[in-house]
Amino acid sequence: MLAVLSRFFSFGLLIALLSCSTNQLGVVRSIEAEKELGEQTIPDFLRAKGGLFDSAETQRYVESLVAKLSANTAIPDGFNPIPIKVLDTSTPSAYALPGGSIYVSRGIIALANEEAELAGVIAHEIGHVVARHSAKSVAANERFILDVIQNERDTLQRAGSEAQRIEILQNAIKSRRSEVAAFSKEQELEADRLAIQILTASGYGSSGFGGFLRRLDLWQTRRAEKMGVTPRELEDLAENSGYPEISQRVAALGRLNDLPAAPGTQERLMSVIDGLRFEDEFNGGFVRDAKYWQPEHRISFDVPPQFFPLHGEHLRFVSQKGGVLLRVDRTLPGRFDRLAQGLQRGKSPFRSARSSTINGIPVIIGKTTAKSQDEELVGQVLFFNLGTHVASMTMLSNKEDEREAQPLFDQMTNSFRRIQPDEVPQFRRYNVQRIVPGDSVSGLARTTAFDGDREAAMRLLNGLDVGQSLAIGDWIKLVR
């Protein structure tokens, strides 16, 4: 978070903050001020997380869980009742924003196998609200940045430009990121401890919470490996993520109590999961079978396994070696031709611009370079003439990663094609059923629509260990 903040703080503003004797930087804000900050962050937060999930049944369900958990918790007056919303993303995630609002994704709902597991996630976020972790984090970040500026004052004054000063601050912050991570980890552990208290007071067994944390960790590890993150890189990411290791979190919770699930709670959770959409929608399209499908603009292209899509105003794909941005804009007759002429005459930041065709689509290809802080970025852009629209696909990577990123980008662009409406596959959805005689893990896995190792994915979704068999009458979650 601090590294991101430093990018948007101008040097002049930072110095002004230091010299202002009336500011309250580094002081925990009032609940009213925290709520105001939370309201300001919500629009950008929702754009980055897929927006809100439109399901009255799911919304009522999570609201009932918050009400039950809050009834057995000392909620500060300014935060009671705690609002909760569901994010429209399959990524398992949960957040407590400044001001006390909680967000859970439909993906984390689908990953739960018992109501106590989902209740543990929500109780953890309530713990953040009760302990006022958002306000304390903001104050700690302010104190940290001010301390960095004080320590680097002489070096900053000798810098020749604002860009150099910002770079000095960023490097100083990076060198001390372990301090930030340690503070965040302690907050996570405190939220875990509060979650166990809340779960116990609300009549839930808390042993499922530890198991769910392990399953969530396995899901995140699997996703990182698909992106091409090496074990060493994964270890470094985990160390500086601000989250304690799962083993540390579970050990810190002590001996968890194991109460039987209340009658009807698992059925209620499974009825909410049944029929949920498995894929995410990204700018009107979705990724399925290593392809991006966009039915409105009738386009499709390959997505290498190392690239993952992100939510936002435009479609972005990220990998360890670079990022790709896709934009589709309405155009006027003749605009594409004028664009081609301008690029080829050198009237743009692109060099070596040339015209070509890909799968029968007229395209313009150009390259450029850019500077981002202390890094030199290499960019390649393709413009596709879709008739009434122009699609632009841009790759940006560090210069040293260009050789590895280029083939991946070529795979995406060379597969770009127009499609017919009946070619677009249907969204996959969760299908929940009970185990009947004759069912087996391997047999059911063959009927699912998971990518890659179907049995491993199904076991992860259902919390089944390797070699663990199914019991007649148990619930099983499939994707079809």
Lowest mean pLDDT among 1-5, 138-142, 469-473: 1-5
Determine phi and psi for 219, rounding to 5 degrees: -65, -45
Within a 10 A sphere around the Cβ of 47, how many other Cβ atoms? Answer: 12
pLDDT at 8: 32
pLDDT at 186: 92
pTM of the model: 0.88
- 103 has a pLDDT exceeding 50: yes
- 227 has a pLDDT exceeding 90: no
pLDDT at 351: 66
For residue range 19-78, what is the model confidence (pLDDT) as tens digits? 443 447 788 889 999 999 999 999 999 999 999 999 999 999 999 999 999 998 999 889
Q: Which residues share a beta bridge with 384? A: 363, 391
Here the tokens at position 130 are 């009760």
Query: Which domains are delineated in the chain?
Result: 2-273 (no CATH), 289-423 (3.40.1000.10), 430-479 (3.10.350)
CB 435 within 8 A of CB 278: no
| Mean pLDDT (the chain, rounded) | 87
Determine phi and psi for 314, rounding to 5 degrees: -125, 165
pLDDT at 477: 98
CB 194 within 8 A of CB 123: yes
pLDDT at 87: 98
- 262 has a pLDDT exceeding 60: yes
For residue range 353-395, what is the model confidence (pLDDT) as tens digits? 789 999 999 999 988 777 665 677 888 889 999 998 999 999 9
Between CA 451 and CA 68 the distance in angstroms is 37
CB 34 within 8 A of CB 99: yes
CB 26 within 8 A of CB 146: yes
CB 241 within 8 A of CB 1: no
pLDDT at 22: 42
Lowest mean pLDDT among 133-137, 294-298, 342-346: 342-346
Lowest mean pLDDT among 22-31, 66-75, 211-220, 293-302: 22-31
For residue range 410-463, what is the model confidence (pLDDT) as tens digits? 999 999 999 999 999 999 999 999 999 999 999 999 999 987 789 999 999 999
- 9 has a pLDDT exceeding 50: no
> In whole angstroms, how far apart are CA 456 and each of 239, 307, 333?
26, 21, 51
